[in-house]
Amino acid sequence: MSYNLLKGKRGIIFGALDENSIAWKTAELAHAEGATFVLTNAPIAMRMGTINELAEKTGSQIIPADATSLEDLQNLVSQSVEILGGKLDFVLHSIGMSVNVRKGKAYTDQNYDWTQKGWDVSAVSFHKVMQTLYKQDAMSEWGSILALTYMAAQRTFPDYNDMADNKAYLESIARSFGYFFGKDKKVRVNTISQSPTPTTAGQGVKGFDGFISYAEKMSPLGNATAQECAEYSITLFSDYTKKVTMQNLFHDGGFSNTGVSQEVIEKF
């Protein structure tokens, strides 16, 4: 069912890897709701995934870009505005990566070069994306910029490792840049704090299955799926959420406000 919520809107979607990705599902839904957009991912991620399929399905062009490279981002933004025929109404930042996690380094035994790389890709890239959009004046008034995060930014999940710090930094950037984007350009900036979701990226975290079933038992409404996250994202790109900005929005079936649930008590 389509409501034409994004009719005539233009955007950029970062980070669609395969059909399990939240960014992938958001792109499909944005297309169904009338938006046109450019897809982008890091060249290496593009080789791993199936983004061409998505581009075909949604009639979108792909512009490869390393989100940590200002040069790539400047090219991405100016090309997108040209391809789409005007300023952008929405941008989804769905990027995260920890080399320490990938290579099995404990939080107490970081390789700091890897820490820095993960921080650049997962958090600072959001600042770089926004700074590029801001300097090029590429966003329409009442546009919407969104990044995806996780509750490990507020509470400790031991196996989430340095990604927790990356997400905390990401959320801070959303608030800080959100102020300037709101004041100067009338653009809103938010993060969605999503339930643990079985995406290709999510499953890289140690003990992930335990994570998911625990969150499921703790959340009164159960975990939010990738599809449901896409649906929430679309509402935040729509004109119905114009005054929502600088927020970290928990999309987690109530997990974040639950102390303990009956199911968890019974389990122990």
Q: Residue type for 85, please?
A: G
d(CA 241, CA 151): 22
Is 62 known to sit in a ligand binding site? no
CA angle, 74 then 79 then 81, to 5°: 100
Catalytic residue among 150, 169, 214, 240: 150
Closest CA to 67 of 27, 18, 14: 14
Is 117 known to sit in a ligand binding site? no
Is 145 known to sit in a ligand binding site? no
Specify whether 232 is catalytic. no
Is 9 known to sit in a ligand binding site? no
Is 178 known to sit in a ligand binding site? no
Catalytic residue among 3, 107, 160, 179: 160
Q: Residue type for 141, please?
A: E
Query: Residues near 79 by Cβ (< 8 Å), separated by ≥ 6?
Result: 38, 63
Specify whether 112 is catalytic. no
> Positive or negative, the Cα torsion across 254, 192, 153, 96?
positive
Query: Which are the catalytic amino acids?
Result: 150, 160
Binding residues for NAD(+): 15, 21-22, 95, 167
Binding residues: 15, 21-22, 95, 167
